[in-house]
Amino acid sequence: MKKLFGLVALLGMLSFGAVSSYAQGEAAQTDTTVATEQVDTAAVAAAPAAPEAETSMHQQIKMKFIEGGVPWMTPILLCFVLGLALAIERIIYLNMATSNTKKLLAKIEEALNNGGVEAAKEICRNTRGPVASIFYQGLDRMGEGLDVVEKSVVSYGSVQMGRMESGLTWISLFIAIAPMLGFLGTVIGMIGAFDQIQAAGDISPALVAGGIKVALITTVGGLIVAMILQVFYNYLVSKIDSLVNDMEDSSITLIDILAKYNLKK
C-alpha cells in the first residue's frame, strides 16, 4: 500500500513538473511572440517616419510661403523664376559662343595662304561663335583696305558684345527688386501687427512676436532670391569679360595676319 501510494506521489510530481515545464515553455514562447510583434510594430511604425522626414522640408517651405503672405511671396518667387531662367539661357549662349580662337586663326592663316580670302571666309562661315562672325566681317571688307577692315572688326565687335550682354539688365533688376519687395512686405506686415495690437488693446508678447515673424519672412525670401541671382550674375559678367578680351586679342592677331597676307601679294 505504501509502495502504491509512493508510486502515485511520484507520478503526480512528474506530471506537475511536466505541466510546469510546458507552462514555462508556453510563457517563454508567448513572450517571444509578443516581443517579436512589438518589434514588428515598431518597425512598421518607424517605416513611414522616413517619408515624413523627407516631406517635412517641403511642408515647412510651403508653410513659410503661406505665412509670409501669398500676395507678397508670389512676386518674389516670380523674380526668382524669371531671373534664373534668364541666367541659365545666358550661360548656355555664352558657353556655345566660346571657341578656340588660336585654332581658328591658324586655320584662317592657312586658308589665306592656300585659297585666298574666299577660303578664309568659308572657314569663318563654318565656325560658330562671335569671334568667327567678327572675322568674317573683316575678311568681307578685305578689298577696301586694312583701315576699313580694322574699323569693321571694332564696330562688329561692339555689336557682338551687346548681344552677349543681352538679358543681364533684367537679371540685375530682379536682384534689386526682390529684396525691395521683401522689405515692402515686412513693413506692411508690421503695420498689420500694430493694427492687431491696437484692436486687442493690449501688448501681448505672443501677438507681437507672431506678427513680426510673419512680416520678416518676406525679407528673408527676397534676400535669398537676390543672393542666388547675384552669384549667377557675377559668373555671367566674368564670362563676358573673358570672351571680350579673347575677341580683342584675336582681332589684333587677325589684322597682323591680313597685313602679312597683303605684303605677300
Which residues neighbour 132 within 8 Å (Cβ) at sequence distance 6 or greater? Answer: 99, 104, 124, 125
pLDDT confidence of residue 265: 63
What's the rounded Cα separation, in Å, for the pair 114 and 117?
9
- Return contacts of 46-49, CB within 8 angstroms, 24+ apart: none
Averages of pLDDT over runs of 10 residues in the chain (265 residues) are 39 42 43 42 43 61 69 88 94 88 88 85 87 88 83 87 90 94 84 76 70 79 94 94 89 86 73
Q: Which three cell numbers stand for residue 221?
A: 525670401
What's the rounded Cα separation, in Å, for the pair 79 and 178?
6
pLDDT confidence of residue 224: 93
What's the rounded Cα separation, in Å, for the pair 183 and 219?
5
Instruction: Indicate if the alpha-carbon torsion angle 197, 199, 204, 209 is positive or negative.
Output: negative
**Cβ neighbours of 87 (radius 10 Å):** 22
pLDDT confidence of residue 211: 67
0.75 surpassed by pTM: no
| Closest C-alpha among 265, 176, 44, 234 to residue 36 | 44
| Closest C-alpha among 73, 79, 76, 234 to residue 170 | 79
Q: Which three cell numbers stand for residue 11?
A: 507520478
